[in-house]
A and B are shown apart, each in its own frame.
Chain A
């Protein structure tokens, strides 16, 4: 068997085992969310019944929506249906949850991927710049800014951006959103400020990690061999240095995606974006558990897929991983 075929087998096996491992995580995540929902004060039946409803009416509604069932029964019911592809409908609006997700998730994914892209586009050059001038004032400047960038919360930076870029200079719209499914370029336009707000941590994180791994690799023995072979410093950096740190970088980007996806919840609230994050927040406040469950499921599935993809990309980039 050739090495390539062997490597492919290894990759296939890895994908299957990863997907199987993901199942319990999905169940656990939805179960935790479901349990937490029970702790939220307020009663969705009261909301549904409207103002001044009688106790009888509320009890009826409870009955109709299965809200009087024991906690585990409710969860089991949800899980059973979800396994068959039925995520239920919103208790309040009656909109099927799948439809809510289809409506809101592209918006969330757009700002999340946009933010990851910006982090990479800005963070990678900064990291390389700092690494190639390690110890210089430029390096200290970049690293100082990066330390700050890691520490500053996204929403705070978002506020500042809105204040300057939107309200003062009027370069970007302050709030609102266009769905990427309707008009992609307009959607990008509206998503720019939220993505900028989301990417500060990412830029800082990527620049720092890339610099440190590049500096480390530059002083490694195999890079000394490359110098001894007569390669130019540029070739050593761009060909060997970057490929050597790419696995590390990809791992950082994968983790960053998870962080950014979680942070969209806050940033969507700041910019009034109709994304999954805001639907989760609203649904939680109103006790609309099918929506919460469905949205969380969508988030978790996305995170699992992105992690799987990063792991696969790592095995392509680093021949040693498929051996393990």
Chain B
């Protein structure tokens, strides 16, 4: 009898990653606080997707949830399809085999993200050897290559150094080398340059883009920097108060946003050509998680709010592969970034 041992192969047009209605909440003694609601998006193989949104809107928790890295108090609902498997339902051991091997993550703080008491050579080879059957010697060679690839000078010597012997920018390069050493299909970069100097930021961003281009690795790029998104990504996901409010190709959204929140972010930008800009602030505050309005979550701050906005707002498909969570998006003409 034929055994069906092969995994279901994703069809040609299935995205690499498809997140469906991901809702994350944290349990605490008094109950549960909902952080994100029905977050859905896809990342195609080799695609670079930028994710922006105000601090606290749930970008990091979404990234961590993809890899199952949230603390035990987190409740995750929804589906995370990656190469035909639902990551949210995988047993821990299987998920572990994907982490660092098929999906890697780069964190914001390079200063504290590496283990201080092991050489970076050990940390690199350990990652490779826990996923691939390679000899010590071979792993060492691959580690040297990986360091060379991210532009670390004299990589063979640096292999024996400890993290404290590297600068912040160099450590982030090491993190990138470590994230890429198994040649993953997807890298989640959670504000990888926020903690770095502006000049170093530019170098790291360029490096990530080049590597993604040359290796075909898809990138989920969480950032505060719309300029970086403009230069690096092909699509932009805007999040507000735990929800996706707009999803669109970068070219079109920058000049023609279809959600008032995206528009607010874009038109207050001084210029997209300048990098290192934090997200501009918009008057007003995000409602607290326990005070979320039933209708549009942006209504208290939206200049276009009218009667009807107090109704729940679904993410609506528009033309040109775009989605927006605003019932007025078709009738409004919203300003985008100033053309350079």
Given A225-B107, A323-B164, are A230 and B114 neighbors across the interface (CB < 8 Å)?
no
Query: For the complex, what is the distance from the CA of A238 to the CA of B233, rounded to whole Å?
Result: 40
Contacting pair B105 A240 (CB below 8 A): no
Given contacts A229-B127, A320-B164, contact A222 B99 (CB under 8 A): no
State whether the Cβ of A224 lies closer than 8 Å to any Cβ in chain B: yes
Interface majority SS (helix, strand, loop, mixed), chain A: helix
Interface string of B91-131 (1 = CB under 8 A from A): 00100111111001101010011111110000000110011
Is A93 an interface residue when CB atoms closer than 8 A count as contact? Answer: no
Residue B178 interfacial (CB < 8 Å): yes
The answer on a CB contact under 8 Å between B162 and A222 is no
Q: Does A136 contact B (CB under 8 A)?
A: no
Residue B161, interface by CB 8 Å: yes
The answer to whether B117 touches A225, judged by C-beta atoms less than 8 angstroms apart, is no
Q: How far is the CA of A304 from the CA of B13 in the complex (A)?
A: 71
Q: Does A33 have its Cβ within 8 Å of any Cβ on chain B?
A: no
A322 shortest CB reach to chain B, Å: 10
Q: Mark A220-241, 1 if CB is under 8 A from B, else 0.
A: 1111111111111001000010
Find out whether the CB atom of B117 lies under 8 angstroms from the CB atom of A243. Answer: yes
Task: Pick the contact of B109: A221, A227, A235, A317 (CB < 8 A).
Answer: A221
Find out whether the CB atom of B162 lies under 8 angstroms from the CB atom of A319.
yes
Q: Is the beta-carbon distance between A228 and B112 smaller than 8 angstroms?
A: no
Quick check: A222 and B130 within 8 Å, CB to CB? no
Which residues of chain B are within 8 angstroms of A240 by Cβ–Cβ distance?
A: 115, 117-118
Taking a contact as CB atoms under 8 Å apart, the answer to whether B113 and A221 are in contact is yes
Roughly how many angstroms separate A52 CA and B309 CA in the complex, as a whole number? 111
- The contact string, 1 if C-beta is below 8 Å from chain A, for chain B 160-184, is 1110100000000001001000000
Q: Which residues of B contact A168 (CB under 8 A)?
A: none
User: Is B69 close to A, CB under 8 A?
Assistant: yes
Nearest Cβ in chain B — how far from A1, in angstroms?
12
| Chain B interface, number of residues (Cβ within 8 angstroms) | 30
CB <8 Å contact, A222 and B112: yes
- Which of B105, B107, B113, B162: most chain A CB closer than 10 A? B113
Contacts of A320 in B (CB 8 A): 116-117, 162, 164
On chain B, the residues within 8 Å of A220 by CB distance are 112
Task: Kindly provide the distance from the CB of B195 to the nearest chain A CB, expressed in whole angstroms.
Answer: 11
Residues of A within 8 A of B164 (CB): 319-320, 323
Q: How far is the CB of B323 from chain A (nearest CB, A)?
A: 29
Asked if B67 CB lies within 8 Å of chain A CBs, one says yes
Residue in A closest to B104 when the chains form the complex, CB atoms: A228
Closest to B105 in A: A228
Give residues of chain B (167-205) contacting chain A, Cβ–Cβ below 8 Å. Answer: 175, 178
Contact B69 A224 (CB under 8 A): yes
The answer to whether B115 and A228 have CB atoms under 8 Å apart is no
Partner of A228, one of B99, B130, B160: B99
B130: chain A residues at CB < 8 Å are: 229-231, 235
Q: CB distance B107 to A232 under 8 Å?
A: no
Which residue of A3, A222, A230 is within 8 Å of B115 (Cβ)?
A222
Instruction: Report 15 cross-chain contacts, Cβ distance below 8 Å, ordered by A residue.
Output: A221-B113, A222-B112, A222-B114, A224-B107, A225-B113, A225-B115, A227-B67, A228-B99, A228-B107, A231-B96, A240-B115, A240-B118, A243-B117, A317-B117, A319-B116
Q: A221-B112, A222-B115, A228-B99 are in contact. List 4 more A-B contacts (CB 8 A).
A: A224-B69, A228-B69, A229-B130, A319-B117
